[in-house]
Copies of this chain bind each other. A is one copy, B any other.
């Protein structure tokens, strides 16, 4: 067997279709979230585990996970604990696109193939639809076509009247879309070997080998059926896309309070709330769902967690902290903060009084610089995006949409307007003048004020 290939010797009797999860790519637009997107936790489990379970529930039982040298161990740990499936592993050494990923897994690919991008989140109907189409209509391949309501910057599927693919148009300008069907990566190929042959034959220096292969298949007379889909679909390309996925999981989850959770009688739990094992909720805290709180986390006195918030394990939402519509990792510590519409990765902390501002003073949409371009996030409420292992000092202010790279430090009282790279430290140029104190106080005033306050 080729290096990097691990084939599961045990073979099940369920569907023979192999689901190939392409986990080997590296997201460049996710800064400062360093983790692979499919490794992000939702409801206490990595996204990949959710994805695999959904596919399994749709009847798939043979999986090929294509990972890279950095993530393959985690992928194995995650998928090996899912019952009832067989998983093979392939190692993609370079991040060179779909075709390269499939070539990495070549020895494992036989018969019918389902190629899946595990960074996009679908409902299980995406799988059942394409599997049903593959059973019903004979074709070389089947492509899921997401029916968009408004322009989306993706690849559009030009089809004939029988919904057969004619051509894939990459990112047409708005108004020039050939259809309302966006190409999303749940592709079914009836014959793996045939697909791989087309891939091998492509001559290009770009990273669209796979798409060229599909185009060449069409040109050679292969029928590629487009299966329309209008269920849930949320790609994670930029960090703020995490919000939609978080909302999706919070909408799906059943409310549940672990029996080991300790909740003060003076706390308020309202709406759909999940409190995991050993969570503690202190006096006068308010959790207004949909909200998920991971194991061992503490929601402190007077804290307010609300409006679609997702908090990892071992985190402390400390005294007098508000968390609103935010995704918080494991082992994060907050303390008298406002955290609104923000994403904070694992092991990060905020000093007392620090505010993650989420609304521009001109109330406009928040733009974020990616490479040389400003990308409109589409959000007029967006806080900070903070990588893992960051520490923010007391009374600091992070402006809407600011990103802080992992393992960085923001000093006390810094008002951070710009993104900060990974492993940086930013300190305010503290300027103050010391003089002699020439004021003096009327000693009676305090007593008077206290008497007034005591009523």
Contacts and interface: CB of A to CB of B under 8 A. Distances in A.
Nearest to A399: B412
Interface in A299-343: 301-302, 304, 314, 316, 319-320, 322, 331, 333, 335-336, 338, 340
Given A357-B352, A361-B439, A397-B353, A338 B336 contact: yes
Most chain B beta carbons < 10 A, residue from A361, A380, A395: A361
A442 B439 CA distance: 45
Interface stretch (A27-35, A211-219, A280-288): A280-288
A393 interface: yes
A68 interface: no
A414 interface: yes
Interface in A29-69: none
Interface stretch (A110-118, A155-163, A185-193, A446-454): A446-454
A261 interface: no
A430 interface: yes
A449 B430 CA distance: 30
A10 B435 CA distance: 54
Nearest to A314: B450
A439 B426 CA distance: 12
A425 interface: yes
Nearest to A319: B322
A252 interface: no
Contact of A353 (B298, B316, B353, B429): B353
A25 interface: no
A352 B334 CA distance: 15
A119 interface: no
A445 B363 contact: yes
Contact of A331 (B286, B357, B432, B446): B446
Interface stretch (A121-129, A169-177, A226-234, A416-424): A416-424
Contact of A423 (B361, B391, B437): B437
A401 to B, nearest CB: 13
Interface stretch (A73-81, A200-208, A403-411): A403-411
Contacts of A425: 434-439
Interface string A353-388: 101010101110000000000000000100000000
Nearest to A438: B425
Contacts of A380: 445
Contact of A362 (B278, B414, B441): B441
A2 interface: no
Contact of A355 (B331, B395, B430): B395
Which size bracket describes the interface of A in this complex? 35 or more
Contacts of A397: 353, 393-395, 412-413
B436 A423 contact: yes
Contact of A333 (B302, B432, B446): B446
B394 A355 contact: yes
A301 B424 CA distance: 36
A439 B424 CA distance: 10
B352 A338 contact: yes
26 contacts: A266-B266, A266-B284, A282-B286, A322-B352, A331-B450, A338-B352, A338-B394, A351-B355, A351-B359, A357-B393, A361-B411, A362-B441, A393-B397, A395-B395, A397-B412, A408-B437, A409-B439, A412-B415, A413-B413, A414-B432, A417-B430, A424-B436, A424-B437, A425-B439, A426-B435, A428-B431
> Closest 7 CB pairs between A and B?
A362-B439, A429-B431, A338-B352, A425-B437, A413-B415, A355-B394, A352-B355
Given A302-B320, A391-B441, 10 more contacts: A319-B322, A319-B338, A320-B320, A338-B352, A338-B394, A357-B394, A362-B441, A425-B435, A427-B435, A428-B432
Interface of A: 266, 268, 278, 280, 282-284, 286, 296, 298, 301-302, 304, 314, 316, 319-320, 322, 331, 333, 335-336, 338, 340, 347, 351-353, 355, 357, 359, 361-363, 380, 389, 391, 393-395, 397, 399, 407-409, 411-417, 420, 423-442, 445-447, 449-450, 453-454
